Amino acid sequence: MQSSTARRERLVSPLSLAMMLGLFALAFFVLRPESVPGTALVEVTGDSSSAPGSIDELSLAYLRAQKQAGKVDDAELARVVARLVRNDRLDEARRMLVEYPSLDVGELILFELDLAEAASESDVSLFAALSRLIDTPRLHQADLLERAVNLGRRLSQPVMIADLYTLWADSAGTAETSYRRYRRCGQELAALDHAVPALDCYGQALEHAPGDADIVDSRLAMLPLTRAGSVQQQTLVRDLVETASMTPVQRSRLADLLLQVERPDMAYRMYARLAVDEPEKSAHWLPLAARWAEAAGKPAEAAVFLDALLNDTGSN
């Protein structure tokens, strides 16, 4: 007899059926919207930046489903959009705003989106957006100002850079943080050869300096930026030369800067002071003191330094 090629349908055993039902129940439990990681974000009230966890694509899909089912209101969804913006997921945030035009995410979030878009378009658009930020006090939030400072660097606009740094520094919670931000402002503008706004930033750093060493460092940074022979330069030279609490490193830096601004009459005194402060290095400092005393028209003092050098050499 020819064998049949027809297949018999196999019945599902009761045990297999029970296992399948159990898996369906487990899947329903695990994948229900309330249990998806990230959806808990919509339950957070207040500042969205404090929300735990992260929002992945699956979570966003279930959030949309919950919104469709009426389980998520606009305020909760707006906080999710804010969270996306804070995490630089700007395209996803824009899509949600287009999808749900009734969402009120607030002026700050909308401006962050506008700023990112302006930065990607052109320098002209970025300049306009940053100008709007500077002129709108209610947008002066610390994180946004820091982002604006970083974006503003590419424009090389000294007044705008100084304005952004000033707002960012003034938003700091401590004088020390303000000092560091003003110092960065001065350094950046000095690197761009914008001496006047750089001096303004360093001047503000002086006002917020947490310690004497910080004051000295700021004044040292200011000195080469000052106009030769100006009252500002003369005042800085006097204040620095009269500072007794300098470290040898700071005093050596001052001596070099005094030569840079053509003040050998003060530089030789700093080298002489270094020979006193660091007697083990007097063979290095005394010749410099003598050299620049001679250049400053003080041959008698130069001779004193050379005699001291000979005495030190002879005693060793």
Chain segment 16-68, per-residue pLDDT in tens: 655 665 555 444 444 454 444 444 444 433 344 434 446 767 767 767 777 66
Q: Is residue 140 part of a domain?
A: no
Chain segment 194-210, per-residue pLDDT in tens: 999 999 999 999 999 99
- CA proximity to 36, closest of 57, 22, 67, 50: 57
Instruction: Provide the domain limits for residue 73.
Output: 33-105
The count of structural domains within the chain is 1
Q: Is residue 312 part of a domain?
A: no
Q: Is residue 51 part of a domain?
A: yes
Q: Is residue 48 part of a domain?
A: yes
Q: Is residue 43 part of a domain?
A: yes
Check pLDDT > 70 for residue 276: yes
Average pLDDT score over residue span 149-169: 95
Check pLDDT > 60 for residue 315: no
Q: Is residue 305 part of a domain?
A: no
Residues near 27 by Cβ (< 8 Å), separated by ≥ 6? none
The model's pTM: 0.74
Q: What string of H, E and C letters represents the secondary structure of the chain?
A: CCCCCCCCCCCCCHHHHHHHHHHHHHHHHHHCHHHCCCHHHHHCCCCHHHCCCCCCHHHHHHHHHHHHCCCCCHHHHHHHHHHHHHCCCHHHHHHHHHHCCCCCCCHHHHHHHHHHHHHHHCHHHHHHHHHHHHCCHHHCCHHHHHHHHHHHHHHCCHHHHHHHHHHHHHCCCCHHHHHHHHHHHHHHHHHCCCHHHHHHHHHHHHHHCCCHHHHHHHHHHHHHHCCCCCHHHHHHHHHHHCCCCCCHHHHHHHHHHHHHCCCHHHHHHHHHHHHHHCHHHHHHHHHHHHHHHHHCCCHHHHHHHHHHHHHHHHHC
- CA proximity to 67, closest of 27, 109, 99: 99
Q: Is residue 41 part of a domain?
A: yes
CA distance to 150, 234, 240, 280, per residue, from 264 (Å): 40, 14, 14, 24
User: Amino acid identity of 153?
Assistant: R
Q: Is residue 66 part of a domain?
A: yes
CB atoms within 10 A of CB 221: 20
Chain segment 81-109, per-residue pLDDT in tens: 788 877 778 788 888 788 778 777 889 88
